[in-house]
Chain A
Amino acid sequence: MDVTGDEFAANREAMLEKLAELEAEHAKAIAGGGPKYVERHIKRGKLLARQRVELLLDEDSPFLELSPLAAWGTDYQVGGSVVTGIGIVEGVECLVTAHDPTVKGGASNPSSLKKSLRAAEIAAENRLPAINLVESGGADLPAQKEIFIPGGKTFRNLTNASAARVPTIALVFGNSTAGGAYLPGMSDYVVMVAERAKVFLGGPPLVRMATGEESDDESLGGAEMHARVSGLADFLAADEHDAIRIGRSIVRRLNWRKLGPAPKPDYAEPVYDAEELLGIVPGDLKIPFDPREVIARIVDGSEFDEFKPLYGTSLVTGWASLHGYPVGILANARGVLFSEESQKATQFIQLANQVDTPLVFLHNTTGYMVGKEYEQAGIIKHGAMMINAVSNSKVPHLSVLIGASYGAGHYGMCGRAYGPRFLFAWPSAKSAVMGPQQLAGVLSIVARAAAEGRGQPYDEDADAAMRVMVERQIEAESLPMFLSGMLYDDGIIDPRDTRAVLGLSLSAIHNGPIRGAEGFGVFRM
């Protein structure tokens, strides 16, 4: 790759522009409920959600924040009024969830729920102890229809984790009432902050309405009461710092052992500069690029042993290691997946399962090839083989959308619905059933055919307007921020961070055992 050429410079310029937009959106999530509510919160002597998280984590340790753009494109605050991520506490990788009380009192909206459930799913799949930093006014009541029924899973997840011998810890900083009371209620360890935590099923007004009893917050759900009387609190913290200190001391005693194999300790950094990742993907995704340029900048020592390099060359497969973890990589080279590529992928996925090697999918696909020749040669069969392999594969999968991810190609490359342990997108990515122009064109052809069938004249002006409109809509809905807002990925990342993100993901994954599939579905031959 020529890193001094105009093409590289233009690609880089386009990527930097997208990164600036991304930073602006991340800033919205960080800003929480805005200056007024943030100041009020601080004035009450409280720590912000991210401050709580930072204090909880080991010094100078990484934090992989998840779904930071949840709720993007909805009416709710970007970020979904909750912070989730994987961080290291006393040397243990934990799934940390912190309500942001500056956003409507930390109330849960449909996006918050999706985000929290995704975090719980990550914790369960990767065997991560969970720490909940609780301060939430419960459900955003006007949106209760989207929260109440599915939200029950929150509490079920906690006790399921506990039963799976993965501890859960709740540090209660403030309100955790009504249904929210089950957050501490279902956790293995509960710490409450004196004079701040408030945990009850029903507050004084509700109690008076229900039974006529006069009561107050402290006697119904104060931290002192729960620590000394009800026993719901295992520890009474003097203040927020103290609660976090106690939380850390709980983790210190979890006797936590990772079940996956340890990484090789002395791995080399890539030979090629990660900075150059900015200039690889063209602004226009119609122009193909060589994914080996990406691989060379994210794997240990830039060493990549390619498998079947001369066969099905539109898909690159091969072995490498990342932060000392062995990985198999599948990366689209020229967009289209043909029968050969599908068969190559199927074989490679089976090989990885045979030797318990996690897989990384680097997406830049326009989908499986169409056309008479290909249909007759069995492209459906071969695509199905690949989808069968990826669906039944049991080694952990990581997906990164670096370019296009269209059609069934998205499935075959382990798209969201295929359960990758983590899925991240570059700002350059796009994902939809097909490209916007193709989709608009298909609609146009179908409409024209329908008009002809009815013997009516076709309105060319309306067709042009429809195509523009559809193209715009599909383009907008295939962009990563939109998809991230829908929780269809775990975050949009700076391409230069790809190695760090994948390395941290792999490390988190290795809390659980790594074991390939014993068998697959029947491969249609």
Chain B
Amino acid sequence: MITTLLVANRGEIARRIFRTCTELGIGRTAVFSDADAAAPHVAEADASVRLPGDAPSDTYLRADLLIEAARATGADAVHPGYGFLSENAGFAQAVLDAGLTWVGPSPAAIAAMGSKVESKRIMARAGVPVLAEVDPAEVTEADLPVLVKASAGGGGRGMRVVTSLRELPAAVESARAEAASAFGDPTVFCERYLETGRHIEVQVLADEHGTVWALGERECSIQRRHQKVIEEAPSPLVDERMRDELFEAARTVAKAIDYVGAGTVEFLVSSDRRFFFLEMNTRLQVEHPVTECVTGLDLVALQLRIAEGHRLPLEPPASNGHAIEVRLYAEDPAADWHPQTGTLHRFEVPGDVRVDSGVAGGSVIGVHYDPMLAKVIAWAPSRAEAARKLATALAGAKIHGVRTNRDLLVNVLRHKAFLAGEIDTAFFARHGLLTLAEPLGDERLAAVAAALGQAEVNRGGGPGGWRNVPSAPHRKRFAVGGTEYEVAYTFSRSGLTVDGEDIRLAEATEERVVLDVAGVRRAFDVGRYPGLVCVGPVTLTPVPRFAEPGTTLAAGSLVAPMPGTVLRIAVSAGDRVRAGDPLLWLEAMKMEHRITAPADGVVAELPVSVGKQVDVGAVLAVVRAEGEPS
């Protein structure tokens, strides 16, 4: 029997596991890095242990500190969550060696599946179809396009699509570097890349007594940069026959390695409906809630029961209805998915949906970890109903302070092709990312609501911007992305009115603005924060009336697009560079961002060094164009 569980993880998954602990009466032990000291998962634990530092390698990847934390808090079991050490056989072994219960498969099973190269061989031998693996050194024109993958990888990290042989060496090198940094293992391999594949996976659950469930499939074809964004159960593609085949293959995989616990067998399905084994994840998946929603099971509870040696019933329960999950990321899809940082002033998702979040209003989104804020899951009897419910909940969510992929998610959930089940891993490319990332709200009207609402608040019951000799309307300007909206309005006898338009302020409080637009009243939820106004799904930045005199940047300066750490530097001051040459790499939010030369010229200044933490806007390098005076 487990009495106290240490969750060797952070964020939403730590909270998710704690929720089950609370229901089962199991004590909760959290660990936290310095950056996470104020995180909700720490606040919700019965005991928590600090892991000094911020970098994963100093904190959540430190097996020794985690086991010491379990000892110190009297925890008798360890749940690794996903990511970090969840698929690290050495850690599993260390937990067992410390006399603690490991909530997961055996170290041997983890090791067998840990190497993607090795696991494919095992599966091929067991008769499960696999995609042929190619040695990076032997890739030919005929193999293209290929996917460079980290053998120890997961979550899209260390993955590169290569379409020409020329790009291969650089892709391999950067994948190696990323794999080494993220997983401590630089091994990479190549496999044929299915450009329009569908990603379908089967949840398996096995006990120590030989029962193996294939619990249901999930489709996770909507991806960005090989990272899942929208997941659902069941898959709209899979029919009964295919389901039987997939389940059979999944059970074969699990049995081949004597698997115990929860795991996921991932397949790639080609356009001709043939499926290939990709890998097995020997842990709980991020997207496990959709399976929970359709089966009514608590997978974490089952993991704990299995770890305690209990038997599973012989057959899994039947699935019912449809569940869809979206991953809400702090990122800007339209700007190359740049991760976003800042204070999440407010986070509320309305409606009958499940929200598994690692954050709460007031959380600071930093640079150290994955930018996923939350998972939002909707269940309904049918797929279309689930999509509608989820889209509406997301559209009405108050997410103030940090840009997210919310608009993209809603647009996808409402997209004709999505609703028709026509999805694959190239969904964003096929339908146009910029179209899909179109803002949800009417930005102009949001600017009007922001302006009039603010004016009413500023007036505070007094005469406001009253004039006895009115000469010009009042004006407020707001920026949304790169677009600026100016609202001209007047404090008239009938209240605040927009000049030249039939729009009037009907009422305004700090949190709500109602506009009368040509006789139709429209209500907006409003949040005001320093330098920020949120109106429904639109985030506006008030444009100050006066530009503060700022420091001007030297021409040719390359500034950090986001806060991060300088990972590698390819040049030295004085080097000649050509436009597009990589100068240095910045690691932020676990992604590598390449900074390239804007023009042919000479590196005039290089004020950073490897390992240096830089803030957004910091000058990284100055490239003086050829022929420019120094």
Indicate if the CB atoms of A30 and B464 lie closer than 8 Å: no
* Bound CA–CA A496/B491 (angstroms): 14
The interface residues of chain B lying within 8 Å CB-to-CB of A493 are: 468
The interface residues of chain B lying within 8 Å CB-to-CB of A68 are: 468-469
Q: Mark A30-59, 1 if CB is under 8 A from B, else 0.
A: 100000000000000000001100110001
Q: Mark A224-246, 1 if CB is under 8 A from B, else 0.
A: 00000000000000100110110
* Bound CA–CA A147/B465 (angstroms): 35
Interface flag for A406 (CB, 8 Å): no
Listed stretches B101-109, B287-295, B545-553; interface member: B545-553
* Bound CA–CA A55/B549 (angstroms): 17
Query: Main secondary structure on chain A at its contact with chain B?
Result: helix
- How many residue pairs, one in A and one in B, have C-beta atoms under 8 Å apart? 67
Point out the residue from A62, A241, A242 that lies within 8 Å of B467, measured CB to CB.
A62
Indicate if the CB atoms of B471 and A503 lie closer than 8 Å: no
Interface flag for A475 (CB, 8 Å): no
Indicate if the CB atoms of B546 and A29 lie closer than 8 Å: no
Indicate if the CB atoms of A62 and B549 lie closer than 8 Å: no
Indicate if the CB atoms of A65 and B469 lie closer than 8 Å: yes
Point out the residue from B472, B474, B493, B549 that lies within 8 Å of A60, measured CB to CB.
B474
* Bound CA–CA A54/B475 (angstroms): 10
The interface residues of chain B lying within 8 Å CB-to-CB of A504 are: 463
Point out the residue from B462, B468, B471 that lies within 8 Å of A64, measured CB to CB.
B468
The interface residues of chain A lying within 8 Å CB-to-CB of B468 are: 63-65, 68, 491, 493-494, 497, 500-501
The interface residues of chain B lying within 8 Å CB-to-CB of A275 are: 493
Given contact pairs A50-B472, A54-B472, A61 touches B465 in the complex (Cβ within 8 A) = yes
The interface residues of chain A lying within 8 Å CB-to-CB of B476 are: 59
* Bound CA–CA A63/B465 (angstroms): 7
Q: Mark B445-473, 1 if CB is under 8 A from A, else 0.
A: 00000000011001100111111110110
Given contact pairs A55-B545, A241-B547, A500 touches B471 in the complex (Cβ within 8 A) = no
* Bound CA–CA A34/B468 (angstroms): 21
Indicate if the CB atoms of B462 and A59 lie closer than 8 Å: no
Indicate if the CB atoms of A500 and B472 lie closer than 8 Å: no
Interface flag for A381 (CB, 8 Å): no
* Bound CA–CA A494/B467 (angstroms): 11
* Bound CA–CA A98/B424 (angstroms): 66
Taking CB as reference atom, which chain B residue is nearest A245?
Answer: B546
- Min CB distance A412 to B, Å, is 27
Interface size class of B (residues with CB under 8 A): 20 to 34
Interface flag for A18 (CB, 8 Å): no
The interface residues of chain B lying within 8 Å CB-to-CB of A515 are: none
Q: Which of A146-194 contact B (CB under 8 A)?
A: none
The interface residues of chain A lying within 8 Å CB-to-CB of B467 are: 62-63, 65
The interface residues of chain A lying within 8 Å CB-to-CB of B547 are: 241
Point out the residue from A55, A60, A241 that lies within 8 Å of B464, measured CB to CB.
A60
* Bound CA–CA A215/B491 (angstroms): 50
Indicate if the CB atoms of B546 and A62 lie closer than 8 Å: no
Q: How many residues of A contact B (CB 8 A)?
A: 32
* Bound CA–CA A463/B546 (angstroms): 66
Indicate if the CB atoms of A61 and B464 lie closer than 8 Å: yes
Q: Which of B541-591 contact A (CB under 8 A)?
A: 545-547, 549
Indicate if the CB atoms of B469 and A29 lie closer than 8 Å: yes
Indicate if the CB atoms of A50 and B471 lie closer than 8 Å: yes
* Bound CA–CA A245/B549 (angstroms): 10
Given contact pairs A50-B471, A60-B459, A500 touches B466 in the complex (Cβ within 8 A) = yes
Indicate if the CB atoms of A62 and B464 lie closer than 8 Å: yes
* Bound CA–CA A64/B470 (angstroms): 10
- Min CB distance A388 to B, Å, is 33
* Bound CA–CA A50/B491 (angstroms): 17
Indicate if the CB atoms of A60 and B458 lie closer than 8 Å: yes
Indicate if the CB atoms of B455 and A60 lie closer than 8 Å: yes
Given contact pairs A60-B459, A244-B546, A496-B493, A51 touches B472 in the complex (Cβ within 8 A) = yes
Indicate if the CB atoms of A241 and B546 lie closer than 8 Å: yes
Indicate if the CB atoms of A62 and B469 lie closer than 8 Å: no
Can you name 4 extra interface pairs (CB under 8 A) apart from A65-B469, A242-B549?
A50-B471, A60-B455, A238-B549, A493-B468
Chain A residues at the B interface, C-beta cutoff of 8 Å: 26, 29-30, 50-51, 54-55, 59-65, 68, 238, 241-242, 244-245, 248, 275, 323, 491, 493-494, 496-497, 500-501, 503-504
Q: Can you list 23 contacts pairing A with B, beta carbon distance less than 8 Å?
A: A29-B469, A30-B469, A54-B471, A54-B472, A59-B458, A59-B465, A59-B474, A62-B464, A63-B465, A63-B466, A63-B467, A63-B468, A68-B469, A238-B549, A248-B546, A323-B462, A491-B468, A500-B463, A500-B466, A500-B468, A501-B468, A503-B463, A504-B463
Chain B residues at the A interface, C-beta cutoff of 8 Å: 454-455, 458-459, 462-469, 471-472, 474, 476, 491, 493, 545-547, 549
3 closest A-B pairs (Cβ-Cβ)?
A60-B458, A245-B546, A62-B466
